[in-house]
Amino acid sequence: MKIDQDYRDTLRVLSEGSVARRFDPYLDIDWDSPEFQIDPEDPRWILPDCDPLGAHPWYKAQPEKRRIEIGMWRVANIQKVGLQFESVLVRGMMQYAMRLPNGTPEFRYCLHEMTEECNHIQMFQELVNRTGLAVPGMRSDYRATSHFWHLGAYLPIIFFIGILAGEEPIDHFQKEVIRDGENRPPALLRTMEIHIAEEARHISFAHRFLHDKVKRQGRLGRGATSLAYPIIMRWLAGAIMTPPRDLQYRFDIPASVMKEAFWDSPASRAIMRSYFGDVRMLAEELGLMNPVSTRLWRALKIDGRPSRHRGEPHRPARTTAA
């Protein structure tokens, strides 16, 4: 398939960026320095308000020691979820890249991205290991099916929508945490800084990839994509940001609290909606917002104002019961 010059230029810039500015989890993080030691009593593990459980009144009412324990477990588990998702991404992208014809510039960029994602997997796992917590990562139902997700690479548009559905919530969450950086453990901050820096390229590629591929779809194909897009976003946001039941059982969190925090209260739904400002903007750019798909976004409770530009900070507005 012919690739237009603008897309080629984007791939060249992204590939050159991966060469000029890259990170290694064992060169760029001084894991053994005193500053980066994991302290299970450090109050900086307390969850911020951008975390749906951290924003819940039940959590805020707990003693500090309890909030630290829950917060450290929750943060470590998010790292584990992140590396599990990255492994699916790498497997799927490799399948996609190996089917590309010789001379395709997408091949080079995809290999750069997979190299960076492998580094992220190592980085996240190292942080998890140093907490000493046996966190499982994704909920059991998602873990049971995740081995098959990479098969979506045989439907590249669907697969790259899925990549964005996994990357955007974590990227949004980490940026919110970084803005509160002085109150987070240094080892956690450093992993987030590296991930955000390289994820900017990955998200840019996924956006540009979809621009190139969706415009080639016919009317029926684009209509189907407009419906699949919000469904995949909501489903994978749940996989990435909803904790497994282990968290509830380990810390005896009331079932009602878990239900409200993930995602049954106006406050938590506002947090969920905030993850998708950039992808709502992309959907509009791709012509995927139509009367039917717009109603679907609303039914899934992930509708809202699209971002005015990539990476626009979320500014909470007053919410009403949905």
Residue type at 46 in one-letter notation: I
In a domain, 16, yes or no: no
pLDDT at 315: 57
Return phi, psi of residue 75, to 5°.
-65, -45
Res. 312: pLDDT tops 90: no
Taking the C-alpha atoms of residue 242 and residue 248, their distance in angstroms, rounded to an integer, is 11
Band (pLDDT 50/70/90 cuts) for residue 320 is very low
The domain that holds 273 is classified in CATH as: 1.20.1260
How large a percentage of the chain has pLDDT more than 90?
A: 86
Say if residue 29's pLDDT is above 80.
Answer: yes
Cis peptide upstream of residue 263 (ω within 30 degrees of 0): yes
119 is a domain residue:
yes
Q: Is 101 left (phi over 0), alpha (psi -120 to 50) or beta?
A: beta
Beta strands in 206-245 (DSSP E): none
Give percent above pLDDT 70 in the chain.
96
pTM: 0.92
- Comparing 100 with 308, which gets the higher pLDDT? 100
In a domain, 12, yes or no: no
What is the rounded distance in angstroms from the CA atom of residue 226 to the CA atom of residue 288?
5
Least confident of 140-144, 262-266, 294-298: 140-144
The total domain count for the chain is 1
How many other C-beta atoms are found inside a 10 Å radius of the C-beta of residue 9?
Answer: 11
Give a yes or no: residue 309 inside a domain: no
Among candidates 28, 29, 71, which has minimal Cα distance to 47?
A: 71
Any domain includes 29: no
Tokens 């699949």, residue?
228
- On the question of pLDDT at 69 being above 50, the answer is yes
Please check whether residue 172 lies inside any domain of the structure: yes
Would residue 320 count as lying in a domain? no
- Does residue 152 sit within a domain? yes
Q: The domain containing residue 171 runs over which residues?
A: 53-299
Q: Residues 256, 79: contact at Cβ < 8 Å?
A: no
**Residue 287 amino acid letter:** G
**Nearest 10 degrees: Cα torsion 38, 39, 43, 49:** 30
